[in-house]
Amino acid sequence: MSRTATWKTILPLTLVAVAAASRLVPHVWNVSPLGAIALFAGWRYGQKGNWLAALAVPLAALFLSDLALNNFVYHLGPSSGQAWVWFYPGAVWTYAAIALITCWGWLALRRLTSVRLAGTSLGASCLFFLLSNFGVWQSAQQFTPPMYPHTLAGLGECYVAGLPFFSHTMLGDLLFCGLLFGAYHLAAKTLEAPAIQSA
């Protein structure tokens, strides 16, 4: 494998791993790298037609960081009567949101500009808010007492309760999009320069 091919393989995965690991350090609720990771993977791998990687990278980042959070940071196992927590209630909706955001990144970022990236990031925040809060409402009956009634009014109540976190989601998506895409392009320019000079 050539030097260029090596860094083009390793660099995106390294950036995603570092971003995902940032979930494990103290941070403001919902200021998360997950939306940005999904957009980045959709752009980086989707444009090359590698849909397996485009979907696998952000979903693996979500799964592995969730495992660490649920079992070593939040210690959800003892509180839920389980030895090990693989998934939390409503997790399927979070995974669905990340998969759809990945597709959104591929479709919306075919021509990458800073304005388009910012708009796509905001769209991803909206999509995550709608699906993740629907998941909270859908799984509300698993708690005692139920978090929200399983009615249309309960769904509305769930969305209203989630509004204070929505601004944090937008901030996290914009911040980590800037960091991921910016770091990738800066590193790419730096790493490509020696190859061009030696050609």
User: Torsion angle of alpha carbons 95, 33, 39, 94, nearest 10°?
Assistant: 10
Burial 43-60 (b: 16+ CB within 10 A, else e): bbbbeeeeeebbbebbbb
- Give the SS3 label for residue 2: coil
- 148 neighbors 154 (Cβ within 8 angstroms): yes
What would the pLDDT profile of 98-135 be if each residue is shown by its tens digit?
999 999 999 999 999 999 999 999 999 999 999 999 99
What would the pLDDT profile of 68-91 be if each residue is shown by its tens digit?
998 888 877 666 667 788 888 889
What would the pLDDT profile of 134-193 be if each residue is shown by its tens digit?
999 998 877 768 889 999 999 999 999 999 999 999 999 999 999 999 999 998 888 875
pTM for this one? Answer: 0.89
